[in-house]
Chains A and B, each alone.
Chain A
Amino acid sequence: SAVISQKPSRDICQRGTSLTIQCQVDSQVTMMFWYRQQPGQSLTLIATANQGSEATYESGFVIDKFPISRPNLTFSTLTVSNMSPEDSSIYLCSVEDSGVSYNEQFFGPGTRLTVL
């Protein structure tokens, strides 16, 4: 199984600023995903990030607000831009284990973001 780390683990930010979250995987993976978990809620997929192509965003999420980079097969970043208190959430990255037939996903520990 893939081991995933995220930085920072938590942060408190001011309204109007931006934060970049890093996701590092211990093996090369094709597909990486970014999720948002708002307080007390389930996980919502923000976008899918494949190396060498533009990220694919889900309905309700746009590149200007959540730009994503995927420079290689082990690393990705998600930026939360022009933050507002409504962006306070846990942000998680996940990777797909393409070595199994049912495409199991493994999750990072998450980044807990509080926007004041």
Chain B
Amino acid sequence: GNSVTQMEGPVTLSEEAFLTINCTYTATGYPSLFWYVQYPGEGLQLLLKATKADDKGSNKGFEATYRKETTSFHLEKGSVQVSDSAVYFCALISSASKIIFGSGTRLSIRP
């Protein structure tokens, strides 16, 4: 069946550090891929998305590229800020509109 595996947290970085959160997936067909972010005390927000191979999603300085050959969708940001502290979820949608979420990665940024 479909599944998403993402890097376990927590991840703690200093401000302005480079961020990578790894995400790999298993799916039949051609899923759409997403990164969602959950800030403390808030609901889920879509951060970025990619719908086909080699697409790059980007938002708020974050990027992720849909790599079909490695079934990956790693999240990157060149210079993190304290305000990026949150839980990040990698997810996919295949058929039947069901989102499959990864386990989430908690990111903490030190000033």
Binding site for B on A (CB under 8 A): 31, 33, 41-43, 45, 48, 92, 94, 96, 101-110
Contacts and interface: CB of A to CB of B under 8 A. Distances in A.
B99 A45 contact: yes
Given A42-B103, A43-B89, A109 B43 contact: yes
Q: Is the interface of A mostly helix, strand, loop or mixed?
A: strand
A109 B102 contact: no
Contacts, number: 48
B46 interface: yes
Interface residues of B, number: 19
B43 A103 contact: no
B99 A105 contact: yes
27 contacts: A31-B97, A33-B99, A41-B104, A42-B101, A42-B102, A42-B103, A43-B44, A43-B89, A43-B99, A43-B101, A45-B98, A48-B98, A92-B43, A92-B44, A94-B44, A101-B51, A102-B49, A103-B32, A103-B93, A104-B34, A104-B49, A105-B93, A105-B99, A106-B46, A107-B36, A107-B44, A109-B43
